[in-house]
Amino acid sequence: MHEALDELRARLNGERINFAELVILGARAKARRLPANAKSAREAAMSLAEMIRSRSIPIDVRAAEEVKHVGLITNYDE
């Protein structure tokens, strides 16, 4: 994950990463790759996208803290 985000940051030339957009794009790409019930996959992707837009995603605070300590969040103030 760290490597992928570094690659994205390099291509953005200093612009901030829009994580909501990134999750939506990832969810849609993943939904397209899922076999079987395509309608169910589309509905799941749309549901996730709506959760992101409405900012109603359950957050795992411990996981977020771990990410900070592992160093996977860029310090944009530097």
Query: Band of the pLDDT at 36, cuts 50, 70, 90?
Result: low
C-alpha 50 chain-centroid distance: 13
State the greatest distance between any 2 C-alpha atoms of the chain, in Å, as a whole number: 47
CA distance 44 to 13: 33
Task: Tell me which DSSP letter residue 36 carries.
Answer: S
CA distance 17 to 65: 19
What tens digit of pLDDT does each residue of 8-28 get? 889 998 888 888 888 888 888
pTM of the model: 0.41
Q: What angle do CA 54, 49, 28 make, to 5 degrees?
A: 170
Classify 14 as helix, strand or coil. Answer: coil
Q: Where are the domains of the chain?
A: 18-78
